[in-house]
Structure 1
Amino acid sequence: MNKISNFFKVATLTAAALSAIPAVAATVLTYGEPGPNRGARAGATKWFAQEVNKRSGGDLKIDIMWGGALFKSNASRQSIAAGVVDMGTIIPDYFPKEMVSASLTNLPFENLDPWVGLKANYEHMQSPEVINSLAEQNLAFVSSYMLSSVIILCKGDAVRSINDIKNKKIRGVGTFGKIFGDLGANLVSMSIYKAYQGLGNGLLDCSQGYMSATIALKQHEAADSLTKLNWGIYTGLGMYINKKSLAKLSPSQRKVLDEVGADFINHIGQNVVKADNKAEHLLTQGINGHKLEIINLPAEDSAKLYLASQSHITKWKNEAQKSGLDGKAMIENYRKFLTKYSQERDLKGYPWTR
């Protein structure tokens, strides 16, 4: 009996000791997002975090800080590079010199297909030139968002032709904004997250925007019209990670992050198409009494916008070359990627329909 009693005592003590050993904690990556916790992009970001958690078996988690809680859009690059957060969203157009390699796909190339643009951008971002340029800033690319076709929201007089852009106070960003300036607009420096107030208080006549983001940012409440410019898409908005944070991950964790980053392209491509169609329908029908006039810019005016874009593509090439990059080759390769994925879509359809 004593032997049996001693056996159970030892077993009990062993079990207690084992239970006292803490489980290996999951690695948690903090993520800084300047946008609000609503809308298509927020939903996609949540999907990314959920997939990372699921595929890693809970070994890798992402903690998202919404609404610019830790840094604003114009401080994202340096904040992520300095380790204020491990990961975050960067809009390269806020950093034209430092992130010239990543801003190529924010130029108005002749493509209006979200999935094609995302796939071409993802391949561009995997090129050695881009990887090395980002590494010098303690950054690495993870995946891309996209904001669909560029639209313009106006309070008061609408933009029905490119002639209507002249003398309007317009919030613009990147090359699209600069071209509004070329066409005679009075550019106003303002974050997209403040455009609601700008339209409401008269600081802005119009604001460059994106279809589904209009509802997420509630800008339909402050505008009267939305003009579809049919002029390129904006795919250079991306997820980036601090290089040191990336280096601390285990091989299996890095593999999960890479796989989810690649799959995110198809996920968000499908979602953007759906979200834009839904947003246009809702904005046309009206939301809580707020109804926008939806205008399609005439095809000849869209062609003029593309023509006005060419000098800026050339300027990007020259700036890239000043940074030691082969700007000409990068533009040629990106155009090839756009053709490649346009042909894949035409032959096979979208991945989610195969």
Structure 2
Amino acid sequence: MNFVKTLCASALVAAASLAVPTLSMAEEINLKYHAFTGKGPSNLATRWFMDEVEKRTEGKVKFTRIFGGALGKLSGQPENIKVGAFDMGEFSPVYNPGLFPLANVTSLPFMTDNPMAHVHSGHELFQTPAVEAEFTAMNQKYLFPGQWGSIQMLSHDPIRSVEDLKAAKIRAHGGAAEILKALDITVYGIPWGELPAAAERKVVTAAIIGAPADAYAFGFGEIFSYWDAVDWFYFPMPVSINLDTWNGLPDDVKAVIEEVRDETVSQARLLLEATEGEAIDALNKLTDVVKFDEAEWEKMISARDVAWQNWVDAREADGLAGQAVLDEFVALLEKNADL
């Protein structure tokens, strides 16, 4: 009888061990993160996020961190997250406007001069039904803003007017390209990796790029002589996770991730700004700061309005709610103006 009881007890223990995950199983949750570049400004916020999630889950979650673009370029990040080549990564609607046409409203030019308001507004916008649907269609869950850096112009010659812009050969993308097109100015779409050599050879004579941090880090202050130090737009770089991966996480892990993601919104800007002091000092020594004359600035704002309308018209032509999304983002910027 004791033998039978022992067998029954052992069977119950075995069944229970199969039905309930053990702590060791929980500790084996591993999420693969891929960075399209090496450790730097573009992944500061994500590294902070991963550190916090690992700490707050007390080791239940570990991130395998792959830096240097071994699994693809920035433009390939959304598709790779979609198919599960890795679980999590940064991408930009600027590089994938066809996949994220509404999310790309965050890259329109001269929307605000308050980067913290912009990053919080982008975070809220990406969780609205219309924009969230773009992530869902790509088998992704939006998490938080990544770099969200300032985009500014450096040039070989001083640029103070629209005519100066027209005389230059300008590398631009995103919102900067949109406003230049509205001014009937040709845009040179040179890839980032080829830009230093193109700028040195004066294939392009100006570049509207991530600055001050990236411009300094990649040596553009030593290539160009002038810097306008004005934010043309803020480069949106959301971080997302494969939706199947997200759905498979335990509820307690999801709760930690949700908590940390909200804190990462401000960290995305604060961490980047902490790196900009050295860059600003260096660029001020390496270049001369120039700005548009007041009358020319009014022309730029008029061109900005045209660029915004062009964006709306293109979305509406595709059957998307371009005007509604633009209006919502502008309203969010006004709401967050004091941040």
Given the two structures, how large is their TM-score scaled by the length of structure 1? 0.81
Question: What is the percentage of aligned positions where both structures have the same residue?
Answer: 22
How much has 1:173 moved relative to structure 2?
A: 0.8
Partners of 2:201 and 2:64 in 1: CA distance: 35
Deviation digits for residues 204-263 of structure 1, max 9, x if unmatched? 2221112212123333233222222344x3152211222112122111222222222211
Partners of 1:302 and 1:272 in 2: CA distance: 28
Partners of 2:53 and 2:292 in 1: CA distance: 41
Equivalent position of 2:199 in the other structure:
199
Name the SS of the counterpart of 2:228 in structure 1.
strand
- For the pair 1:26 / 2:33, whether they are aligned, the reply is no
The answer to whether the 8 Å contact 2:149/2:236 transfers is no
Equivalent position of 1:307 in the other structure:
302
Equivalent position of 2:77 in the other structure:
76
| 1:190 to 1:58, Cα distance in 2 relative to 1, 3 A | farther
When structure 1 is superposed on structure 2, of 251-260 and 298-307 the one drifting more is 298-307
Name the SS of the counterpart of 2:143 in structure 1.
strand
| 1:22 to 1:114, Cα distance in 2 relative to 1, 3 A | closer
Partners of 1:163 and 1:147 in 2: CA distance: 30
- 1:176-195 maps to which residues of 2 (within 5 A)? 176-195=176-195
The answer to whether the 8 Å contact 2:158/2:226 transfers is yes
Partners of 2:200 and 2:142 in 1: CA distance: 36
Q: Which runs of 5+ in 1 are unaligned?
A: 1-20, 286-290, 346-354
- 1:207-246 maps to which residues of 2 (within 5 A)? 207-209=207-209, 210-231=211-232, 233-246=233-246
How much has 1:22 moved relative to structure 2?
A: 9.6
How much has 1:61 moved relative to structure 2?
A: 2.5
Deviation digits for residues 151-172 of structure 1, max 9, x if unmatched? 1122x32323332111422221
Partners of 2:295 and 2:257 in 1: CA distance: 44
Q: Please give the root-mean-square deviation of Cα atoms over the aligned residues, in Å.
A: 2.3
- 1:285-324 maps to which residues of 2 (within 5 A)? 285=285, 291-324=286-319
| 1:262 to 1:298, Cα distance in 2 relative to 1, 3 A | farther
Equivalent position of 1:281 in the other structure:
281
| 1:22 to 1:141, Cα distance in 2 relative to 1, 3 A | closer
How much has 1:198 moved relative to structure 2?
A: 2.2
When the two structures are aligned, how many residues end up with a matched partner?
Answer: 316
Partners of 2:225 and 2:305 in 1: CA distance: 31
Partners of 1:216 and 1:45 in 2: CA distance: 19
What code does the residue aligned with 1:117 have?
Answer: H
| 1:201 to 1:109, Cα distance in 2 relative to 1, 3 A | closer
How much has 1:115 moved relative to structure 2?
A: 0.8
Q: Which runs of 5+ in 2 are unaligned?
A: 1-21
Name the SS of the counterpart of 2:144 in structure 1.
strand
Equivalent position of 1:349 in the other structure:
none
Runs of 4+ aligned structure 1 residues displaced above 6 Å come to none
Partners of 1:262 and 1:309 in 2: CA distance: 31
Partners of 2:161 and 2:64 in 1: CA distance: 44
Name the SS of the counterpart of 1:241 in structure 2.
strand
Name the SS of the counterpart of 1:228 in structure 2.
coil
Partners of 1:159 and 1:147 in 2: CA distance: 25
The answer to whether the 8 Å contact 1:167/1:185 transfers is no
